[in-house]
Structure 1
Amino acid sequence: MCFHANVKASAQQISERFDLQIPMGLHFPKLFHVSGFRFPNLPVALSEAPTKLNLAAWGLIPSWVKSAEDARAIRSKTLNARSESIFEKASFRDSVGPQRCLIFATGFFEWKLVGKKKFPHFIYCKDQSIFAFGGIYQKSPFSEENNLSVTFSIVTTPANELMEDIHNTKKRMPLILPFDQTKAWLDQSLSNSNIQSMMKPYEGKMGAHPVALNLKSSDAAGPEVMNPVNYPELNFIQGSLF
């Protein structure tokens, strides 16, 4: 799964990396840790405007939702979209064909279960300092300001070897796209079979390390939230991970 992200890159850095235009007035703070359950705005590129950097809110509101109350109720359940069922689920099937997006990040957080205790880890791409999650999006009139807003879900896939060890309960991971596939993900002419073929565990180089246990309460944290922490309970496995 993917419910906690790290976006410490600036709009300018993302723009330069992915060759995107920055609209006038677009800005966002560095997010060293942000929880999807707070439905934050994150930097994205949309298939309908693939050359522009935009902001969208985490937690997709499906097109068939008819009230703000229903929108609030469903959003915590649509932070992620499973690749295996994305074409069948009512919440996602209208988006996956024409409305795909890139969600830009510099890392994410996941928990490893050891005994009865969970240990958070910061996870990143060694071969992409700024990378893109593959996602889907919808436009909805039910934002906090009651204006039209774009909302998204991050696609998830089965875990790769590293993520199987860290996310050792459900063994899932976010869809991380290789850099050379990012523009293709936004191509609205892709067939369902082409889209499905892109939704697979990341094969690039990744790194990870344990971080502080109070992570979930640290949305306003600074870069220290990424600092490595040594837990005796994990010492016997560290050599196999890093």
Structure 2
Amino acid sequence: MKKVLITGANKSIGFEAARQLLQKGYYVYLGSRDAQKGQQAVDQLISEGFDNVEVITIDVDNLESIKAAREDLGRKTDVLDVLINNAGISGGFPQTALDTDISVFRNVFETNLFGVIETTQAFIDLLKTAPDPRIVNVTSGLGSLTLHTDPNWKYYHAKGACYVSSKAALNAYTIILAYDLRDTPFKVNAVDPGYTATDFNHHSGPGTVPDAAARLVKAATLDADGPTGQFFSDDNAPDTGISPW
């Protein structure tokens, strides 16, 4: 049975990704910053008939919490097949380049970039023991620098300085991580779940949570011939599914 850790999975897209992977027969370690909320999410999945799920308390903003989560998971398993770096924050909008306080930039980068790096580094040893490991970094279509320079792009004016730059940086990290693991069975990809109606955007997005989660699950379950080092975005590239960087 393959095993997956999903950060920020106690609600929304992360929670639905957990449900869909359980349906595919995966054992899910449901990552949650708040242990109580994480357990409530696990209890909900158990009530739906899923047994192969348990909470892992992990706050990606806190290195000690990440280390503790790694120790906790290490007591449960010696292999991790999939890591989905899903936890993320927006920092609140609007965000301008000149007027947004630097503390907001730091907070957003702490979660959206540094937390991903520290989590990946902490769990890479368990991932390396898997025969076909997968890393999914949950990004945003707004992380495309190419599209942000195109005045005809439908989201051209969505220039949240902190959020956009953090996701662009995450995309760059994904490219380099995939490169570093290029001669291994790893598949490392950035996935844009799309503009989805969630608490994250006050339910303003047109997309559904199940569809968004399915995009994460697709990248998490790629076969040996699947791509690596890609930026998947059905929203940005409905024909090919591959967004320009």
* TM-score for both structures, normalised by structure 2: 0.30
Which protein has the bigger helix share? 2
Q: Structure 1 or 2: larger strand share?
A: 1
TM-score normalised by structure 1 residue count: 0.30
Larger RCO of the pair (alpha carbons < 8 Å, separation 6+): 1
